Chain A
């Protein structure tokens, strides 16, 4: 079983739709959860960052973490064509100072928002 599973899609939605992206994971030591957005042939851009369980909201984006189910989600409200990109979940365990902060990534979900 892979440490992080993410449905690669592709996912195609109309403009204005609510988008739900998800990842599951198997390592209970993961404490930090991130969502990156990657446009074609560009570097991943940090979108959301959460620690442990709970919700975090930033504008049209909401990240949810359910550690009991080992399940994280990213919701995009009022989706726009500019949101069309690949969304990667990433996570890592807690590390001490000088320890590795290596992230484990999902394979990414390709999202297209149609005007």
Chain B
């Protein structure tokens, strides 16, 4: 158990809908990262938040947004869903107090868009 908690574990929704994925980082970790994993693309970095502020942005679509709350949990919002958004969405966290830290992943949220 990495200590990173993600909900829901599985989600099936229709095209055009909106979903919210939730992540609780490891105790003491200030950074939260969101990754998307699909069969053909591998693990793709979406976005990072550090202590409530956006720190880095990757291949995140405009239909997607995220935030990190004062208690450090994070939410990833996916809207106007398309079939191609079906994937595993991982949250990861790290202490992020300078170099030498690495990140630990949650078990993922499996999103199926039908």
Contact = CB atoms under 8 A, between A and B. Distances in A.
A83 B101 CA distance: 25
A108 B100 CA distance: 23
A105 B43 contact: yes
B24 interface: no
Nearest to B94: A101
B18 interface: no
B82 interface: no
Chain B CB count within 10 A is highest, among A94, A99, A108, for A99
- Give the size category of A's interface with B: 20 to 34
Given A44-B90, A101-B103, A107 B42 contact: yes
Interface in B18-75: 31, 33, 42-43, 45, 48, 50, 55-56, 58
Interface string A85-115: 0001000001111111111111110000000
Contacts of A75: none
Contacts of A45: 2, 105
B81 interface: no
Interface of B: 2, 4, 31, 33, 42-43, 45, 48, 50, 55-56, 58, 88, 90, 94, 96-108, 110
